[in-house]
Amino acid sequence: MKPSTRAPHWHRTITLIGVVAPTLALAGAIALAWGGLCRGIDLWMLGIGYLLTALGVTIGFHRLFTHRAFEASPVVAWTVGILGSMSVQGPLIWWAAKHRQHHQHSDEELDPHSPHAGHGAGVFGAIKGFWHAHVGWLCERDLRSQAQRYAPDLFDDPISRRIDRLFALWVVLGLAIPMAIGGAISRSWEGAWLGLLWGGLVRIFVLHHATWSINSVCHLWGWREFDSGDESRNNPVMGIVSMGEGWHNNHHAFPASARHGFGLQFDLSWIIIRSLAAVGLARRLRLPSAEHMERKRLHSRGRAVTVPP
Ligand SMILES: [Zn+2]
Ligand SMILES: [Zn+2]
């Protein structure tokens, strides 16, 4: 009998809570705002919380720990690792292992979240593929045991190992901090709950979908500039929303590059990494050579906007 690809019951339950709770919180927050219960401080906490935790994912989880695209001082590594963990996208090593598997098998059967491989043809197959790439893959078999295979170096690195093990603490802190700020500013429980709602749960919801859109949208809509051997796309909207990660075709062509947006393509994560390097907090920034880029550039086929099959 073919083994099930579905995750154990407990895993699916936790994942479901992690996905559904922020969604319900968003609905509640909109209803409260409709009734006039939304303060400026709540929206500031949403915006700043989103910016900080998104950069934790892009600079920390993705470019530093998963791809080793640069070296960071311990204080930077801890900071971006903790901020990334507050996005509630799973523990650091699990996240990195899944992502390395994605690069190794991009848009093939072993890719954990391809919208293309194995979803059938036609409109139904396209919808199924999008859903799987966006959120459905989270309910498949937990690859915790495979983390040793894809990310053994992260178990050996004391910083990533400790950040990973303390995941629950960072999640609680990511909720408690906006709650405490909201309560302290308004000196009321109502302010505390609104801080938890907007700065915690709604912020998690928005970043969840921005990150997952890199897996779904950026393998479907946009253009290709480089031969990456897969269906990754450059999508300028996602480039801005996700701090530079939307230049996904560039990234798949040059996974080890600390910079994803080339030329005028806006890449906030790269600007910050370069700034950290300028003050001595980051070093050994990896970039593709001009010859390497030219070799992979799609001269005649590039820049064509394609639609999903
Ligand atoms: Zn990808
Ligand atoms: Zn990557």
pTM of the entire predicted model: 0.91
- Looking at the CA of 57, name the nearest ligand: 2
Give the range with max mean pLDDT: 42-51, 121-130, 298-307.
Answer: 42-51
Ligand nearest to the CA of 222: 1
The C-alpha angle with vertex 50 and arms to 214 and 114, in degrees rounded to 5, equals 15
pLDDT band at 142 (very low <50, low <70, confident <90, very high): low
Percent of the chain whose pLDDT exceeds 90? 76
| CA of residue 204 to ligand 1 center, whole Å | 21
pLDDT computed for residue 69 by the predictor: 98
What pLDDT score does 309 carry? 37
With bands split at pLDDT 50, 70 and 90, how would you rate the model's confidence at 308? Answer: very low
**Rounded to whole angstroms, how far apart are CA atoms 219 and 155?**
30
> Are 86 and 171 contacting, i.e. CB atoms less than 8 angstroms apart?
yes
At 276-294, the pLDDT tens digits run 999 999 999 999 999 999 9
pLDDT at 125: 84
Average pLDDT, the chain: 91
Q: Residue 27 C-alpha to ligand 2 middle, in angstroms?
A: 32
Determine contact, residues 102/137, Cβ cutoff 8 Å.
Answer: no
The closest ligand to the CA of 215 turns out to be 1
Q: State the pLDDT at residue 259.
A: 98
Distance 214 CA to ligand 1 centre (A): 7
The alpha carbon of 103 and the centre of ligand 2 are apart by a number of angstroms equal to 7
Nearest to 243 by CA among 54, 89, 17, 67: 54
Query: Rounded to the nearest whole angstrom, what is the distance from the C-alpha of residue 62 to the centroid of ligand 2?
Result: 6
Q: Tell me the per-residue pLDDT of 34-93, one tens digit each, with 9 for 90 and over.
A: 988 889 999 999 999 999 999 999 999 999 999 999 999 999 999 999 999 999 999 999
CA 76-215-232 angle, to 5 degrees, is 100
Q: For residue 41, what are the CA distances in angstroms to 49, 145, 201, 207?
A: 12, 42, 15, 19
CA of 260 to the centre of ligand 2 (A): 10
- How confident is the model at residue 288, as a pLDDT? 97
Amino acid 6: pLDDT: 59
> Nearest 5°: phi and psi at 278?
-65, -30
Residue 303 has pLDDT above 70, yes or no: no
Q: What is the pLDDT of residue 306?
A: 45
Ligand sitting nearest the alpha carbon of 100: 2
Ligand 2 centroid to residue 74 C-alpha, Å:
22
- Kindly give the distance from the C-alpha atom of residue 288 to the centroid of ligand 2, in angstroms, as a whole number: 15
303 C-alpha to ligand 2 centroid (Å): 21
- pLDDT number for residue 23: 94
